[in-house]
Amino acid sequence: MHATAIKRWKIWHHGRAFVMIGALALLISGSLFQLQAQQAKAAGAGYWHTSGAQILDANNQPVKIAGINWFGFETSNYVAHGLWSRGYKDMLDQISSLGYNTIRLPYSNQLFDAGSTPNGIDYSKNADLQGLSGIQIMDKIINYAGQKGLRIILDRHRPDSGAQSALWYTSAYPESRWISDWKMLAQRYKGNPTVIGADLHNEPHAPACWGCGDPNTDWQQAAQRAGNAILGVNPDWLIFVEGVDCYGTNGAANGDCYWWGGNLEGVAQKPVQLNVANRLVYSAHDYPASVFNQTWFSDPNYPNNLAGIWDKHWGYIAKQNIAPVWLGEFGTKLATTSDQQWLSTLTNYLGKGVNGFNWTFWCWNPDSGDTGGILNDDWNTVNQTKQAYLTPIEFALNGTNPPPPTPTPTQPGTTPTPTPTNPTPTPTPTGPTPTPTPVNPTPTPTPVPGVSLKVNYQVGDPGGATNSEIRPQIQVINTGQQAVNLSDVTIRYWYTIDGNQSQTYTSDYAQIGSSNVKGKFVPVSGRTNADYYLEVSFTSGAGSLAAGANSGDIQNRFNKNDWSNYNENNDYSYNGSQTSFSPSTKITAYYRGQLVWGTEP
C-alpha cells in the first residue's frame, strides 16, 4: 500500500476507534447515571433499620422520618378524623404533595373491641369504607399510603377511647392485652414495609419511671418486654420507645421533670435492650409555652437556652451516636411571639438533610385544641405559615425535592398574619346519609409535666333519670408524684339543660369543706349530649392534694330556679348505674385550664 494511503487508513482506523471508545464511555457513564438515579429514587426502599444515630433503608441508604400525625382511631370515632369532610385518599394525596414522607397513626386498644363501630364518616366521599371495621379502615389507609410512597408508624396512643393513661396498662386493658394487640398488628402487617414500626405507648408519665426496677411502673423494662414480643413476630419493625416525664439520678420517677413522654435522660445509664439488633429508636415530645408554661420559657436567655434543654432531655442520644431520635410530637397554633420563637429554634435544631433529627409534626387535624393543625378549620386549605417552617427540613424518599416554602416563616418577635379559618362544612348527602360532624376540640389530654389527676364519680340520686335536681358526687385523686394545689384544678360535668331557665348550684357536702367548693354554669354548643357544663372549682382554702391523695367526697347538687325537671337519660356525664365511686372519663378535669383527665363530648 502506498505510504500516503497507509497514513490515511491509520487516521481513519484510529478515529473510528476513538469514536467507539467515546461511545462506550458514554454508555458506561449513562449506566452509572441511571444506577445513581435508581438508587436515589429507591431511597427508603424496604424495611428500615438503624446504625448509630441514623436510620437506614434496605439498601443501607440513610433516610429520615419527616412526617405528620393524623389522629382519630384512638377516639370514640374509631377512625381517622376529617372523613366527615373529605375522602381518605384525597387526604393522603395532599399529605404526600406537601412533602411529608411518614404518618404517625394513633390508635387505642378499644378500637379492636366488638362494638367499636367507626362513625363520623361521609360515605358519599368514602364509599369503599362502608361497612368496614376500624382495623379494616386502617388497612385501607395503610394500603393507599403505600401507593403514595408514604410510610406509617402505628402509635398505641391510649388503652381506651376515653383518656390517656400514665402507664401502659389499665385494669380494663392489662399488659397482656397491650402486648397481644401489638403482636396481632405485627403479624397483620408483616411483609408490608409501608408500616415501619411500633410507637409502643404514648406519653408515659408518673407513676411511670425509667429503670426504677418496679415491674408495675418501670417503663424501660415494659418497653423491652413489648419490643421483644413484637420482634419475635416481625423482626423487621423499628421499635419506638418514648421517655417518661420525671427522672431522678436514682432512676425513680422524681427529680427533673419534662413533658409527658419527653424525658429520656435515663437512657444514658439504662438503655433499652432488644433481642434484635439495630431496631431501636428513641422518641420524645416537645411543646411550647402556650401548651404549658415551663420554667425555661421565662429564662432571660430564651430562646437561646432551648438547645441546651433539648440536648439534656433527648438530643444527646443522637449527638453521642447512641441511637436515632425521633421527635414524635411537636406543635403550636403560632399565636404568640414565644411560640414563634420556639418553633423557629426547634426546626433549626432538628436540622436539614439526612443527618437531622427524625420528626412528625402534631398534627394534620385542625381539631387539636391546644395546637390546631396543618389544615385550617375547613379541613381543606393548608396553614401556609406553619408549613413554611417544616418544608425546609422535610426529606423526600423518592429522590425529589419538596416544594419550596411559601410564604417565609414569620421571624421571631414579629406578629404573624392570622390564618383565615372557615367553619367545618357539613357533608352534603349525595349518597348514604353522613354521620353528623363530631366536635372533638381536645381529643388528647394536654401533657402537664408531673401532674396526673383522676376523677371518681357516683350518681347521687340513683332513683331515676327524670328529676328536678342533678346530684353528681365526685372525688379528685392525685395520681401523680407531686402535690397539686386544688385551686389550680377545675372539674366539668356535662349535661343538657332541657330548657333555658336560670340555675342554682349547691355544695351539699365536701370533705375539704363546702365553703371551699364553687360552681358555675357554662353554655356550650356543637357537643354530643351536652349543651351545658357545671364547672366545679376550689378556693385556696381547699389546700393541696399530696401525691396519691384523694380529695374525699364532694357532693354537688344543682337545679333550675323554676324547679322543672331535667331528663338525664341523654346527659353526657350521667351514669345512673354508677352507684359507687369509680373512675369516669366523661367528667373532665383540668389543671390550670389544661385538660388532664377524661374526654370532652
Task: Classify residue 596 by burial, with Cβ atoms within 10 Å: 0-12, 13-18, 19+.
Answer: buried
* Structure-derived torsion over alpha carbons of residues 527, 379, 434, 188, reported in degrees to the nearest 10: -100
Active-site pick, 74, 242, 265, 329: 329
Among 373, 374, 370, 372, smallest CA distance to 447 is for: 370
Q: Look-up: residue for cell 395520681?
A: 479
Assigned C-alpha cell, 59: 439498601
Among 54, 57, 61, 80, smallest CA distance to 69 is for: 80
Instruction: Give a three-class secondary structure readout of 26-62.
Output: HHHHHHHHHHHHHHHHCCCCCCCEEECCEEECCCCCE
d(CA 311, CA 239): 22
Q: How many CA atoms lie within 13 A of 285 on its CB side?
A: 29
Among 364, 359, 362, 353, smallest CA distance to 396 is for: 353
Stretch (H or E) spanning 485: strand 484-485
Residue 535: active-site member = no
d(CA 445, CA 572): 18
Please say whether the beta carbons of 219 and 210 come within 8 A: yes
Phi and psi, residue 489, nearest 5°? -110, 140
Q: Is 342 left (phi over 0), alpha (psi -120 to 50) or beta?
A: alpha
- Listed in order, strand segments (DSSP E) in 320-452 are 325-329, 358-361
d(CA 42, CA 60): 11
Phi and psi, residue 187, nearest 5°? -70, -40
Count CB neighbours of 29 within 10 A.
10
Please say whether the beta carbons of 294 and 328 come within 8 A: no
* Structure-derived torsion over alpha carbons of residues 359, 364, 365, 366, reported in degrees to the nearest 10: 100
Please say whether the beta carbons of 342 and 387 come within 8 A: no
Please say whether the beta carbons of 534 and 559 come within 8 A: no
* Structure-derived torsion over alpha carbons of residues 170, 175, 176, 180, reported in degrees to the nearest 10: 100
- Amino acid identity for residue 425 in this structure: P
d(CA 33, CA 561): 82
Which residues, other chains included, contact 356 with Cβ-Cβ below 8 Å and sequence gap of 6+? 64, 350, 393, 395
Residue 242: active-site member = no
- Amino acid identity for residue 437 in this structure: T
d(CA 595, CA 453): 10
The residues that are catalytic are: 203, 329
